[in-house]
A = this chain, B = another copy of it.
Amino acid sequence: MDFTSERHLDDGVVEREFTLDDVPGILWVPGSSSAPLPLILLGHPGGLRKMYPRLMDRARQCAQLGFATATIELPGSGDRPRLADVEQARADLRQALATGEPVGEIVDRLIFPLVEQAVPEWQAALDALLSLPEVGGPVGYSGGVLAVGIRLAVVEPRIAAAGFFAGSYVPEGMFDEARRITVPLHVLLQWDDEGNDRQHALDLFDAFGSQEKTLQANMGGHTGVPKFAGDDAARFFVRHLSRRPVRS
């Protein structure tokens, strides 16, 4: 893990960019921290530069609650080399949505390669992050790509809680994985999300195997999550990451 920049934000948060095996990422740590902190991995739909303002907002909110946060670029997005098959699938998906054709097979072609590549990258990042003195654990995962978060919650025992956003495609073939998740979940659903099948999201929530899982549905479209819903999601992580012994 090579740190390439360090910046002190006005609220004392220290933001450091890094690369790890050519994958760019960002780590945010509250400036006032002394003990190793719990960590929240911030998932996103790809494109660190474009997503930066929203990621930094989430990082700052988490820092106020005593969490370190980190994110890495999604395979094939941002400054990373494009993945030809994924690009093709993305184009096919747009086309299918425009013409109203079924998308199941296209979603498989789009999502599975991302999951297969992204999850080991998140795990490598986790190894490196947990070796830093300022990062301890426990670890949460928050955000998209939903299918990446699902796989990570299944295969990575260091993930102690996950906050998902029911706003991206999950292949039908991953519902069995969803059933194997056991960590506490907090799932946000935008009730009128134009790019998301509500029934599919409800079925997925039903499938999650976790004994503690909360669905919070609010009005509005994909990007209209109300501030109080973000606050509730943050409190979910406080409940599950702040009161436990360090696991890493």
Contact = CB atoms under 8 A, between A and B. Distances in A.
Given A191-B206, A202-B202, A206-B191, A219 B213 contact: yes
A168 interface: no
Contact of A214 (B206, B210, B212, B217): B217
Interface residues of A, number: 21
Query: Which label, helix, strand, loop or mixed, suits the secondary structure of the A interface?
Result: mixed
Contacts of A235: 228, 232
A211 interface: yes
B216 A216 contact: yes
A214 B218 contact: yes
Contacts of A211: 219
Contacts of A216: 214-217
A189 B23 CA distance: 42
A229 B214 contact: yes
A91 to B, nearest CB: 33
Interface of A: 191, 202, 205-206, 210-219, 226, 228-229, 232, 235-236, 239
Given A210-B219, A215-B216, A228-B236, 8 more contacts: A191-B206, A205-B217, A213-B219, A214-B229, A215-B218, A217-B217, A228-B239, A232-B235
